[in-house]
Amino acid sequence: MTSITRRVTRVFVVPMLLAAAPVLRAQDTTALRSADSLLVRALVTHAMPVRLADGRLSGAGADFLIAEGGRSQFFLIGEDHGMRELPQLSAALFRALRPAGYAHLAVEVGPLSAERLEATLRTPGGLDAWGRAVRADPWAVAFDAWREETQMAADAVAATGGRRGTIWGLDQEFIGAPAGLLRRLAAIAPNAAARALAQGYAADAVRADARVIAEKNPTIYYMTSAPADMSTRLTAAFRPGAGSEAARIIDELRVSREIYAGQFDGHGYESNDQRAGLMKRHFMERYRAARAAGEAAPRVLVKLGGYHSIRGRSYTGVFDVGNLLSEMAASGGARSFHLFVLTAHGTRNAFLPFAPDNAEKAHALNVAEDLDFMDARPLLAAGAPDAWTVLDLRPLRGEAERGRLGRLNPGLRTLMWGYDAVLVIPEAHASTLWIDVPPR
């Protein structure tokens, strides 16, 4: 992998997900168990089995998660992306928590894209219609180019019946989104001049994004290679009213460009901080709209990369949306519950359009490449080798503070206070693309 591709892979993937869990050698796990470490013994004491079958959760761990969700206003799932088990788990939890009043699913997708996704899914044959849209423009929406993610959204929409506003998109718009958004701007243009301007930018975006794949150069993406004054010119041409669709499109394009540009030009911390702020703003916009619609205290299942869902300061050094929800719930006399999902073995879909390699559709989880911020071995050692296991971390915090669990790895210590529980999945399987991208 070239240096530019490796760097931009982190732009695409790392800020959007928590790196995959390590693949441990069998003897590593066995050694931890046989050593009977203080931490592993404590974790095992608070371990509960979970089973997911036919879209339903069962077992003591499932009862625990559903009960904790029922006692919480926000249930946050911190995940790695690209594995089919994660959206399946999220859909099952959403259905199980509906009786407790959960009516919204917040995901790592741009707000405009999330609205389009939900609108499509609410039409007859919506799932297939979304698949056709993805095939026509495969890289416009993060993660919903995967079938299982779209099925999760469809399940959530079905569970809420006719209620609108089920899917909340919290992220920036994806790096391949400008062409479609600019075409939409052209369709709602107030006059011929504004329409021509938007159409010209859209055509440029199509050409630029085609070159990304042909030349294997992600810096060409129109999200960051578009003229710097594009948003200014569009605003002058459209004169959009505050809160109008045109204003939202132009603003989301502007801020999304800034976030990606920060990653490209080496300002990763600033980009992550801006992105966290945007996700908080998007959440509060949706939250206030739900309250205005009559929900006194909207309950939300939140599925994001593990960097974003954590309580406190995240592994990227910023206070992300997960911390906002923790403080927000507490300030209202409620609470949030944070679940970290850890996979021991298997594959994830790490395919990227600018570096086409079919093998990346089933990328083997690898600790050296994917996990460098935490020692996850005690967590994996405490999990059952052949079944899903929930580990309740909260009872361990006092023991850790009193020094009774030995010396903790700093990253693992951060996790133990940032998340309330860990779900250990022994084996995961790569998500499935809607479009079968041929090798190039």
- Residue 244 CA, distance from chain mean position: 27
pTM of the shown model = 0.91
What's the token pair of residue 381?
């050692």
Write out pLDDT tens, residues 225-247: 999 999 999 999 999 999 999 99
Residue 368's pLDDT is what?
42
pLDDT at 280: 98
Which pair of tokens denotes residue 334? 């409620």
- Residue type present at position 197: L
Helix (H) or strand (E) holding 35, with range, is helix 26-35
Task: Report DSSP state, residue 430.
Answer: B
- Token pair listed for 197: 């301007």
**Contact call for residues 218 and 5 (beta carbons, < 8 A):** yes
- Where the chain has pLDDT below 50, the residues are 1-35, 368, 438-440
Per-residue pLDDT at 139? 87
> Structure tokens of 84?
């089919």
User: In angstroms, rounded to a whole number, what is the distance separating the alpha carbons of residues 255 and 262?
Assistant: 11
Where exactly are the structural domains of the chain? 3-173+251-428
Taken in order 371, 344, 74, 256, is the CA torsion positive or negative?
positive
Backbone angles phi, psi at 106, to 5 degrees: -95, 130
Give per-residue pLDDT as tens, 17-27: 333 333 334 43
- Residue showing tokens 């205005």: 292
- Encoded tokens for 265: 């030009």
**Residue 359 has what pLDDT?**
84
